[in-house]
Amino acid sequence: MTNQQNFSVFFRETTKQLFASFALLAIFALTLPVGANAQQMGAKQASASNTVLKPLTQEQKILHVLNRLSYGVKSGDVEKVKQIGLDKYIEQQLNPEKIDDSTLEAKLQKFDALKMSNTELFAKYANPGAILQAVAKQNGLNRKDLQGMRRKNQDAKNDATAMTNGGAMENDAMESGEMKKNDGGAMMRKPDANVANNNLLANLSDEQRQQYQEQVRELYVKYDLRRPAEMTQQLNSSRILRAVYSEKQLQEEMVDFWSNHFNVYANKAAVRWYLPEYDRDVIRPNAMGNFKDLVIATAKSPAMLFYLDNFQSVAPQSNKNNGRNIERLTQMAEDGRLPERAKERIRKRFPNATDEEIIQRLKQMQGVAKRERGINENYARELMELHTLGVDSGYTQKDVQEIARCFTGWTIIDARGYRKSVERMIDGGDNNMTNAALRRQGFPDDAESGTFYFNEKQHDNGEKIVLGQTIKSGGGMKDGLQVIDILIKQPSTAKFIARKLAVKFVSDNPSDAFVNRIADAFSKSNGDIKTTLRAVFTDKEFFAPENYRAKIKTPFEVVASTLRVLNADTNASPQMQNLLNKMGEPLYGFQAPTGYPDTAQDWVNTGALLQRLNFGLAVSSNRIAGTKVNLTKFAGTQLDDKQAVMDKFINVILNGEISPNTKTTLAKQINQPIPEPTLANEKSDDFMMENTAMMQNNIGNAGNGRRGQNQQTRLLPPSGNAEVNKIVGLILGSPDFQRQ
């Protein structure tokens, strides 16, 4: 039995068990390979009948290019490519800087967060922790009081956890800034800061809680603050709008590709504040440039530094120096020689502290200094394993350690943005304690919150050996840059990037010969991304007939291609984002550093296909807030003949290419009632995802991916012709539309 047959049997049987009443989905299961590679279907069918697949026609080549280099075919695209020529179209897409995208840019003007620096974002979309500090300050609470509240709340949580799961304690790796060293970068979820603050409120009386909430409201009004979630919504909306409306389609495909290759997770503490800059200044400008520049940009990005904890990676010697300074101050305090200025700084942090209490505080600080943060290896490991060389490429644990030393001191100024937020809300900007702490760490006084900074004091300046090459001592920041240069030039890097691009644009299982040809183009061009992509699109394997309509769309591609093919008018509302989440791909919502995968086996399963079908029905019926389609523009006025309407939309949506099985299924179903979309059914989601590839690979269960799937999505009442809506929704949910 072939992989495709195994997959079809699995899908048919599980579909019968889960959705016995959804006959349509069960029949569709027979035509879509699940768990196997989609492109194998055509090749195996040809082999079984001893026939050779015909070369692609010119029109099929155009459709193939439009489906692979863009987010799907929209009205007029085929004619446009025919007019200018296929080769010229590809070359245009390889040079996005020459393409006018003013229509899209006008749609993006309303997103103010996307134009702000990290410093401005921390000030406008204040970190809830900073707001808590400001309110505490207003109420005469110091850090000890807040820590006591947190401990009390954590003790209560621990007791509850022990009662519910036999005492298994969650290791909050995010809070400590540490991740397990040997799990390939698997990361645990950091609770949202708003949730943490709400938990703290549970320790207050009703009167105190009401007072706290009122003070928070006053701060939001007084300083015109906004909720941090709005930042992420704006960025996600812009990503969807770009995929739907941009004329620079290949660039958008590459932005998505690199965003997953250099993945960061929005729900890890302060990462969400860094995402607008990450997209705008790191990924987007380098997506079609030089790979080395892209790696350097991500290495210096606060989003990556925070996500992989490198902002906390310091040479042990720097901790020792800090500890000695505190030890000296403690000794001076015990001898009665501590300057009054130093006492006043401490009393700002601990109001009304006596001399004896100051000594105790200094001893506590001394104890903290002894618990060295030290060197963090997370970024070093992922830089080799996921960003450059790939898995099993010959590096050793010693190489990881040496590279980690090279990147010590690559950090972020005021990484959580408290200084910028608090200075607006406390005593007209009096935030001397934070500023003094930053100075002690070696940061300049004029440093902007949330920006990259190389801290010489925290860097390990000793000699290092990376992949057999010596990096001389005293190099400072150049150590990290030299590491990147070494890694980029490795043959393993060229082959790793070549294979990922081949999987993205050609086949789930590209041939080794094809990968080698692409790797050769990458190496000879010194990592020029345009040159490498040109080699992909001009290679004979790109247009091989077995690769035509053989890739399975990711959920993001389903959303974008659906809206494009129907010429939808959309604002990419939060409701649209929630539906994307429910299909399993919340943007910036994959916890592990690997990013979302791009093969059929990771995306096609019973629950996922039902959500895709429901999405198609919701779009065609105009049930998603902020999104409108006009189907009569395609169908005309003759709506009584259902078969004619179906044929019309098969041409519009599938360019007339539909499998006999799918067409037969659609013909049977157009006269049958369709169940109400279950987009808000929380319980079925959990059941649907069991024992599927998506669950096993942690897709849809990663951070806000799972939260997004369980989130209620309010649908609008349907509008338009119900029969036409149903026909269009069924075609959009068909296996044929899931392929590209």
Residue 498 lies in a domain: yes
Q: Are 272 and 228 in contact (CB under 8 A)?
A: yes
SS (HEC) of 408-474: CCEEECCCCCHHHHHHHHCCCCCCHHHHHHHHHCCCCCCCCCCCEEECHHHCCCCCEEECCEEECCC
507 lies in the same domain as 592:
no
The number of CA neighbours under 13 Å toward the Cβ of 371 is 6
pLDDT computed for residue 176 by the predictor: 32
Could you give the C-alpha distances from 524 to 520, 529, 534, 658, 727, in angstroms and in order? 6, 11, 13, 41, 50
686 lies in the same domain as 723:
yes
521 lies in the same domain as 630:
no
Residue 151 lies in a domain: no
Nearest to 383 by CA among 367, 397, 403, 412: 403
Q: What are phi and psi of 162, to 5 degrees?
A: -60, -35
pLDDT digits 0-9 by tens, 495-507: 999 999 999 999 9
Residues 6+ apart with CB under 8 A from 432: 345, 348
Q: Which domain holds residue 327?
A: 316-370
Count of residues making up the chain? 740
Average pLDDT score over residue span 55-71: 98
645 lies in the same domain as 721:
yes
Residues 6+ apart with CB under 8 A from 522: 291, 494, 497, 498, 528, 531, 532, 535
507 lies in the same domain as 585:
no
pLDDT computed for residue 609 by the predictor: 87
555 lies in the same domain as 538:
no
Residue ending a domain, among 513, 542, 571, is: 542
Nearest to 626 by CA among 715, 731, 724: 715
The number of CA neighbours under 13 Å toward the Cβ of 735 is 28
Mean pLDDT (the chain) is 81
- Give the pair of three-digit tokens for residue 16: 């019968």
As a whole number of Å, the CA-based R_g of the chain is 28
d(CA 604, CA 10): 11
Residue 673 lies in a domain: yes
pLDDT computed for residue 699 by the predictor: 35
Residue 701 has pLDDT above 50, yes or no: no
d(CA 199, CA 419): 23
d(CA 46, CA 439): 70
d(CA 518, CA 526): 12
644 lies in the same domain as 668:
yes
Residue 688 lies in a domain: yes
Q: How crowded is residue 166: how many other Cβ atoms within 10 Å of its Cβ?
A: 7
> What's this model's pTM, rounded to 2 decimal places?
0.82
d(CA 10, CA 547): 24
% pLDDT > 90, the chain: 59
DSSP for residue 627: E
Residue 466 lies in a domain: no
d(CA 53, CA 60): 13
Residue ending a domain, among 340, 370, 400, is: 370
Burial readout 345-383 (b: 16 or more C-beta within 10 A, e: otherwise): ebbebeeebeeeebbebbeebbeebeebbebbbbbbbbb
733 lies in the same domain as 689:
yes
625 lies in the same domain as 681:
yes
Lowest mean pLDDT among 305-314, 360-369, 416-425, 701-710: 701-710
511 lies in the same domain as 564:
no
The number of domains in the chain is: 3
Instruction: Note the Cα 35 to chain centre separation in Å.
Output: 24
d(CA 690, CA 236): 28
Residue 139 has pLDDT above 50, yes or no: yes
580 lies in the same domain as 660:
yes
Lowest mean pLDDT among 240-249, 355-364, 410-419, 722-731: 355-364
Residue 203 lies in a domain: no
